[in-house]
Structure 1
Amino acid sequence: MANTKSAEKRNRQAQKRRARNTTVRTTVKVAVKKAREALTTKDAGKTTDAVKEATRTLAKAASKGVIHPRNAARRIARLAKAANAGKAK
């Protein structure tokens, strides 16, 4: 438990940030999951939209500092690679 006023404030700030970060991380997971599901359906239009949305969500999370920029870049690259492999078939 926090003993000083500054420690109590830091605790309040940490709780707000944690809630915000949790929301963003959940949104990222949902977007990536939808993109992966769209890749399995072989529907080109649906896949393109889902991958674009997942890319946007990942980039936004990285810019907010919720996930590391390299982590976002790696995940975006993997989604794009999978989408391009699907188009080639």
Structure 2
Amino acid sequence: MIADAEKYRAEDEKVALRIQARNALESYVYNLRNTLQDENKINVDDKRKLEDVIKKAITWLENNQEAEMEEYEYKQKSIEETANPIMVD
């Protein structure tokens, strides 16, 4: 019985981390979209690039509801690599 409890606890922790990673990615994407809508200093090409990245990320989130934690983290890092240089300028 203790072994089962340990097993389920480990599974629960894994699920919680996956959900946390998904929520972090989702929050980042929607915050980026809101910031982009409010930002007037970004040139047109960069704005289009970010809008495309955001649209693809939202579609990816909708189609990958059960992705692993590492997939969510990788996706967020990929988006940050595109967005951060633009948003910092």
Does the CA-based 8 Å contact 1:31-1:53 persist in structure 2?
Answer: no
Specify which structure has the bigger relative contact order, considering alpha-carbon pairs within 8 angstroms and separated by 6 or more residues: 2
Amino acid at match of 2:48: T
Cα distance in structure 2, aligned partners of 1:45 and 1:32: 20
Cα distance in structure 1, aligned partners of 2:3 and 2:64: 27
CA RMSD of aligned residues (A): 2.3
Q: 1:10 corresponds to which residue?
A: 8
How many aligned residue pairs are there? Answer: 64
Deviations 1:15-72 (A, max 9, x none): 0121122122112211211111111224433333223222322333333325xxxxxx
Cα displacement (A) at 1:6? 2.3
Residues 34 and 64 (structure 1), Cα distance of their counterparts in 2 relative to 1, 3 Å cut = same
Of 26, 30, 33, which residue of structure 2 is paired with 1:32?
30
Identity %: 8
Q: TM-score, normalised by structure 2?
A: 0.53
Question: Structure 1: 5+ residue runs without aligned partners?
Answer: 67-89
Q: TM-score, normalised by structure 1?
A: 0.53
Cα displacement (A) at 1:10? 1.7
